[in-house]
Amino acid sequence: MFASGSFVMERALLISSRRETEELIKETFGRRISLSIIQDVEESELDDSFCLIMAECDYNCNLDKCLKKFLFIFNHRSVSAVLLKPVVTRDRSSNPGFFLRILNNIESKAVQKDVLSWLKDSEYHFGSGNMSFSAFNPEQKIIQVEKSIVEEGKKLSRLEDLAKISGWSLAWLSANFHKFSGILFRTFRARERCCYALWELVSTNKPIKTIAIQAGYEPLYFSSLFKRFFRIPPSSLRSLIGSGQALT
């Protein structure tokens, strides 16, 4: 971009505490953007010069950290925003990559669309054209299942669909997901669904019953599951963020 005859570098914000993620993002963008890195959103002031917010998720479902990040992103919803979720394998060094969950996609602004495209096409994003999967590598099949769970959003896959991605039975997937990822299949899937639900609670005024069904759960069970991960039921969380008064 040029302004008044001078080159103006686009700016992006990375919310992360991991050096590895910082290095991956720097390699992804190179000199095409100016990257600001913070660990706590309370330390950041965002202005209109930023074209992308990237928030790393560590799968820990810590309400204090997660809610602060989501509220920060929602309050700056004129800027494109994504969650960066590391690939989960027992040996992270063999797969230094990430998944993307898009939260805000401001397609009307060309520069934000371009920056998102760079991120999607990164060699570290599992899903780019630069990433190939072996049909005979079970670990890569498990990563494909993880990607589907993380990136599907509202189209959260059925168990049968996820099993088809792996090319094996649901029993095989359940048994081997933990073997290659180090986390139980049902736990990983439930965390992702509750993460999706947390963003919906923050960013929309949908009824909790609707969010529960979209996340793939019966409302009563969803409330119990959500409380297990975030230590507060979704109804109480809605009250904390103003019972929808700050939502659109």
Sheet architecture: strand order including 80-86: 33-38, 10-15, 50-56, 80-86, 98-104
Interior CA angle at 98 toward 151 and 168, to 5°? 60
The position carrying tokens 């996609």 is 105
Going residue by residue through the chain, which has 248 residues, state the pLDDT in tens, using 9 for 90 and above. Answer: 334 344 457 899 999 988 888 998 998 888 888 999 998 887 677 877 888 999 999 899 999 999 999 999 999 988 899 999 999 988 766 667 899 999 988 766 677 788 888 888 888 888 776 556 666 788 888 888 899 899 876 666 677 888 887 778 888 888 889 998 999 998 999 999 999 999 999 999 999 999 999 998 999 999 999 999 999 999 999 988 875 443 33
pTM of the model: 0.87
Query: How far from 67 is each of 58, 168, 170, 201, 214, CA to CA, in Å?
Result: 14, 37, 33, 10, 20
Domains delineated in the chain:
2-132 (3.40.50), 133-248 (1.10.10.60)
What are the phi and psi torsion angles at 226 (to 5°)?
Answer: -60, -45
Neighbouring CB atoms inside 10 A of 57's CB total 22
Token pair listed for 84: 């960066």
Q: Read off the pLDDT of residues 203-217 as tens digits, 9 standing for 90 and up.
A: 999 999 999 999 989
132 and 140 Cβ atoms separated by less than 8 Å: no
126 and 147 Cβ atoms separated by less than 8 Å: yes
Determine the residue type at 178: H
